[in-house]
Structure 1
Amino acid sequence: MKRLISLMTVLVLFGSMLLPGVVGQASVDQGNFDIALKAYEDPIISNGQVNLKVTLSADANTIVDENGLVKVTIPREIFSSGDLSNIHSDAFIFDHMENPAKDDPDSIAVFVKPDSSYNEGAAWSASFQLAFQAPLLRPGTEIKPEQTFNVAYNGKSDSQTLRVKVEEGGNPAPFEKWWKSAVDSNGIGILEEDDSKYNIFHLAVNADRSFELGDVTITDQIPDGLSVEQDPVETPNIEATDATTVKGIRIVEVAADGSRKYVTSQYRDAIFFDETTQRLEVNFKNLTKTDSFLIEYRVNMETNKEVYKNTATMTSTDVGEVSDSVLVRPDSNTNFNKALTKSVNKEFLIGDDTKLAYTLTLRSIIGTIKAGQIFTDTLDSRLKYSKMISGMELFDVRQEGQTLTFTAKKDMELGTKGEVVFEVDASGVAVGDTVTNKSEIELDNEQYDSNTVATKRVSNAILIQKVDQDDANKLLAGATFQLLNKDGEVVREGVTDASGQLIFKDVVPGAYEAVETAAPEGYILDKTPIPVVVEADSEDTISLVVKNKRNNTGVIQVEKRDAESKEKLANAKFTLTSENGVQSGTTDATGNLRFEHLTPGEYTLEEVEAPEGYVIDNAKRVIQIVSGEEKTITVTFENSRMKGSVMLTKKDSKTKEALEGVEFQLLDKQGHVVEDHLVTDEKGQILVGDLDWGEYMFKEVKAQEGYRIDENELAFEVNQENVSQMIELTKYNERIEPNIPEEPITPLEPSVPEEPSKPEKPSIPKEPNIPGETNTSEKPSKQPALPTTGDSGMQWFMMIGIILSTFGMRAYLQTRK
């Protein structure tokens, strides 16, 4: 017998694993849930719209895919037309339909899948709706007087029976206006406030194919606060080979078998819609009994009003004027389509921490949550309510013992949420204990639990011990470590003490990495991450031993550069001083100098001799060689160039005497004036300093009086080789000489004149011949004879005059100086 019972048990378990999930099959009980069905039309009238509302409510994390689908069963004989795939909800997904149902040929079965994501961590209640049109109910129509509708989900079900009202002498209507979405218990259409896809109106023309209609005109005035959607989605189960619109309006042709298709393009010229006034007019002209059409449009809610009345009218030469109206309102369901979630700010209480903050969030899935909605939170006995943190403007809070009751003060529209945060004292939670908490929401007089949150008090530690790699007994102080979480965030940081230890206390359980960021002095840094896991149930200290290797490989490289050109400079001498002594060196041809094999510590680098032509940099650089850092430390020194100077001396080209008062200009290589009005002093000198490296030239612009200007420019260059010395230049000027007469010929010594002989007695001259007369005698001249050039008296006179002139000219020239 025992073997038989065991075998049967195995078969039952094995069979349950093989059986596919079906609607109504019970699953593992994960929490409280309920399924409800509500039908508003009682009785069902001829050609009337039937609206079914299915509501699923559940504790948090109860609705899962493994539970299967929601199944809604509709009697086939009461269904005339309608789109049963349009379920008017974002919290459910239409799966498929069976017409007829496989398990009942007299029924239609609609299968819908709940979106379990809404129930994750939240107490949940949501609904979907099905709407369809009943058939024409005339006297003699064969139909059951009562129609039963059923819903089933995961082993639970609900049903509702509606009466059928046959209209005595009822006549088909040539024109009707239909609301093709959800309605409330009063038959008023429910508008989706944020999405037009469910807000569908149909204007039905000759729906029963009972009329010949001539010259048909339909008018419809969209009420204030609503507007026609200009880019509407297509309605499922309508053939959409022609899905064009005229300003958001479509025409649907209904076949005798009930099939429908869009034919808007055929009637484009018959549709008139004024976007400003929101007035619609459609002209069909003449229709036969076989013609049946729907005028379809969707609306957006522009202004929130309590109710909208939408009236449309058809006129025809055969039936006159027929009007029909529909009432619609914004969705404001107070009991359903909402979710309550709970969260806590800490998963763990660490050490002496005693404060927890709980957050309750109430949000709408569809429609508006009305003021007066209630939810509660009962605290664990180890917790004590402290205070409200936020949400007082949205909720009234009342405390009774360990229970907090929250009541919504005002409506919460779709897309908004109400959130309340309060603080509790968790001093009563002992180390190792876990405290749980959940909230409850009242939905249709039932209480449903939110998700449950938990917090555990823990106490633990991570101990890091730092030692020498070659001598484990040598404990190393000064090592810095960081503790990183799984996201790479630093959660703790510290330095090993004199005993080589660092302890991180009360760490939140989880996976971490310990990373060394600075090694002890004289040791190589080891950045290898050390994984460590802190278990939630462990109160032990986790010990980590980390070893370091000594480091004696520090390098300092000096770079010497020209401050202006940035070119590297050779022959700069440096000293490097530390507690171990002084090292020195000189930059090579590449401008570099390396000090290698440096032990960790502090070094002072100083320039003691600059390259030729440069100013020494006296700034001292203090450098730290850090243990474990293997990179070369590069230090750059820049030297400014020394300034050059020049001295120009002006001299007489012959006497070499200094010439004062000569004026010069100093020009650069391009001929630009560097210095102007440079004048030689009493020593004949000009001194110019503070010259940058480059080529220059002196240009004489004014000479001393009596000297010629030397128009030849005197060039020189200031460079690295001569910048430390005075450049000395000399320039000569030639004197302007006066025009002096040639040296006279020295006269010969005069001879002593002979004693003159006694003159003879002159003869008496004859008388001069008078023209026309004959001179018979001459008379001697009475004037003495003048000396001739060759006479000695004249020579002495000329020599004395020349000598006097020479001395006079020389005296004159000396006074000019």
Structure 2
Amino acid sequence: TKSDGKTAEVLSGAVFELQDSEGNVIKSGLVTDARGKLAVDELAPGEYQLVETQAPTGYELDSKPVTFTIEKGQKEAIEVRKTNTLIKGSVILEKIDGDTGALLSGAVFELRNSKNEIVIDNLVTDENGKLAIADLPYGKYQLIEVQSPTGYELDNTPIEFEVVKESESTELSKTNYGISKNVKLEKRDSLSNELLSNAEFKLLDSSGNLLIEGLVTDQEGLLLISDLDIGEYQLVETKAPEGYKLDSTPQTFEIKEDTKLITLTKYNTLINENRPTIDNDENVESENNKYGSSPHTYLPQTGEAKNYLEIIVGILVLLASLFILINRKVKNN
């Protein structure tokens, strides 16, 4: 009978050969069945041995012979037993920064078997960026990242491996990349909101130290700076788009641990920008200006003044004629 040396579970699939006491093969290909048994009949009296040539799947091969003796006239079957030890291996995983190659602590993993069942959870890489699992039974496994190191992107793609040999140590590695810390600036016309290309900027730290210069908005009016460290920054315009006024007021922003993208907007005004206003300019005239600033005062226009003058002159002539006529009548009387 073939069984597990620790659990006593019967084992099928173990292959043996029958040999005489001198090691000569009498029968080969003897396989334990579903009950963990194999039987050999009609053996002549003598000394024999059963030698395992193939262990059950997942178990160590134990080729030490199991000896037995058949006595003359023996009628009862002899039962012999053979145990096997489950193959166990180990795995070591190393967590690495994909850009610098530095080892990363604080990554959390879980171990799953071939049935996608959790075998061990909360496996954490140590200060050397490593985690180790020992005494893993034979089989296929996956290590899945469930929490990335601080400041790094999570990569939950399973890492597959298999334990196939006793005491075998499998070495694995997993790479993480830092969370992209980016800033995007949009350059726009202050009136039309149109995106503007060819504005030039420089990047300063919070103390005003120059970090990058010659940053130019592209044809779409955008400027992108990637992979910034945590901290406070200033974007200062050093050259405005053609035809626009320079605005060198710093655009401040802060990159934090979990920052992925900050979007800023910077507006520029045209140098000779004519905006609609109400004034007495010859090109912009309102209805009120046509008649003066007060809605209660009527100021006659040039043509209208001429007509009034003619009327006044006519009235004066009429009054003068009337005065002469009255004066004559008085004299005659």
Q: Which has the higher strand share?
A: 1
Using structure 2 for the length normalisation, give the TM-score. 0.46
Using structure 1 for the length normalisation, give the TM-score. 0.22
